[in-house]
Structure 1
Amino acid sequence: MITFSEAQIMGWLSPILWPFLRVLAVFSVAPVFSMRAVPMRVKIGLAFLVALCAQAVLVDQPVISVNSPDALAAVAQQVAIGLAIGFTVRLVFAAVELAGEIIGLQMGLNFASFFDPTSNAQVSAVARFFGHMAVLLFVVINGHLLILMAVVKSFDRFPVNGNFLQSLAQMRLHEIGASLFSSALWIALPMIALLMFVNLTLGIISRVAPQMNIYAVGFPVTLTVGMLGIAATLPMLEQPVLALMRQAIDFFAAQR
């Protein structure tokens, strides 16, 4: 009769279990992967497949028994790192949507808002449009593959050792959050300058021709120029999104 010891079972299970938990945590937060249209069984199966395929590069992983006192700390560490990776990538989408909010405010379209069930908040139409464009760019630039690469590379910087507090101290997520507003302003800067010029022109016209109803003329002009400006600047959205994605991935993949 063939028998297996607990050490042998843990030697087979441990190298797959901890990457599986980290990948599953990423899939529960990261854009596209965390969509409600993706069933939970698919997420679990895909996370197990990624953890299994990553065994070729994840060598010399520590063996932590599920019965040992370090198992709970290891679970907390894997979940925290996975959630941090997914949250960092979501910040890229938040920067693009914030740029859309700023542009919509300048265009006067912020009143055209609706309830977004994914964020449980009111989102303007322009911000939602920029969010959809960010999702399309995410797929086009193989962002899903970049996330998987970041998860695999994160084991070099954050190995499975159960040191939960040390991993939190090394992540320093506030550095990524600080660049959110600056990145959003850089994305929206061309439209802000264009609409500011339009508003300045309308202000001069209202002073030169006071009999003109500037409120009746200004909104259609601002809306038309804003639509044309979005159509002209939208092809340039790829570079800042790609730069933000690289910054987010390098934050976990690069050695520091």
Structure 2
Amino acid sequence: MLEFTDLEVGHWISRYVYPFARISGLFMVMPLLGTRMVPTQIRLLLAVATTLVIVPVLPPLPKVEAMSVAAFVIILHQLLIGIALGFIVEMLTQVFVLAGQLIAMQTGLGIATTVDPSQGASVVVISQWLLFMVSLVFLSLNGHLVLIEVLVQSFYSLPVGMSSWSAADLGRIVHWSGWMFAAALVIALPALAALLVVNLAFGVMTRAAPQLNIFALGFPVTMVVGLFILWLTMTDMALSFHRHMEALFAFARTLVGG
């Protein structure tokens, strides 16, 4: 008659629980899957399916008693790693949301808002439009597959155990988040520069013809020029998203030690 010890049973359970914690942390915050539009049950099933697929190719996991403080700490570490990886990629989409808000404030389209179903907050229409565009580009470039590849690679370069990222590594993530604001400003810069020229032209017109009602004329012209600039720079935005995605995945690989 076969007999199993508590340690052996706990090891069999933890072989799936530890990877599941890291994978579920990623799926909670990553673009598209981490939004409110995807039900929690769907994310849970995807996390379970992904765990069952990648567990056979993972390196040996530590043998820790299932119901112990050490096992609980390891699970927290795995959740932290998954959430951090998802947060890094989520910054990529938020770059274009911030860029859309900057453009909308300058074009007068900031009053046109809509409810973002993915976040449950009110955002400007331009930001929502850019978010849809980068989400489609992310899928077309197989960004979700690359993200899962980085996740699997992290189990080798950052194996499951009591050790996790240091304070310096977490500081690198916080420091990298500042890149989000700089990149958003660079993306919105062409539209901001063009609208600045338009505003300067209206200033000259006001000085030349004081009787001209600049408020009645400037708002529709600024809005039309802003939409025209968006149409001209849409291709460059998609290419810029590709470059930013490569930079972020390179940073993610460096962070996990790949």
| TM-score, normalization by structure 2 | 0.89
Is the Cα–Cα contact under 8 Å of residues 75 and 162 in structure 1 kept in the other structure? no
Q: 1:83 to 1:184 in 2, by over 3 A?
A: same
Q: What is the percent sequence identity of the aligned residues?
A: 33
Q: Find the aligned partners of 2:234 and 2:197 in 1 and give their Cα distance.
A: 19
Please state whether the residue corresponding to 2:34 is helix, strand or coil: coil
Matches within 5 A, 1:128-167: 128-164=128-164, 166-167=165-166
- Deviation string for 1:2-43 (max 9, x for gaps)? 443334334433332211111111111112112334332322
Show structure 1 runs of 4+ deviating over 6 A: none
Q: 1:25 to 1:61 in 2, by over 3 A?
A: same
Question: How many pairs align?
Answer: 255
Q: Find the aligned partners of 1:97 and 1:142 in 2 and give their Cα distance.
A: 21
Does 2:40 align with 1:40?
yes
Is the Cα–Cα contact under 8 Å of residues 64 and 71 in structure 2 kept in the other structure? yes
* 1:112 match: 112
Q: Which amino acid aligns with 2:199?
A: N
Q: Find the aligned partners of 1:120 and 1:43 in 2 and give their Cα distance.
A: 18
Q: Which amino acid aligns with 1:158?
A: L
Q: Find the aligned partners of 2:92 and 2:217 in 1 and give their Cα distance.
A: 36
In structure 2, the gaps of 5 or more residues are none
Is the Cα–Cα contact under 8 Å of residues 202 and 214 in structure 1 kept in the other structure? yes
* 1:28 match: 28
Q: Find the aligned partners of 2:66 and 2:252 in 1 and give their Cα distance.
A: 26
* 1:14 match: 14
* 1:199 match: 199
Q: CA deviation at 1:117?
A: 5.1
* 1:245 match: 245
Is 2-11 or 24-33 further displaced after alignment? 2-11
Q: Which amino acid aligns with 2:135?
A: V
- Deviation string for 1:153-174 (max 9, x for gaps)? 222343211235x445423321
Q: CA deviation at 1:120?
A: 4.5
* 2:224 match: 224
Is 101-110 or 117-126 further displaced after alignment? 117-126
- Deviation string for 1:201-250 (max 9, x for gaps)? 22222222323222221111111111111111111112222233233322
Please state whether the residue corresponding to 1:110 is helix, strand or coil: helix
* 1:170 match: 169
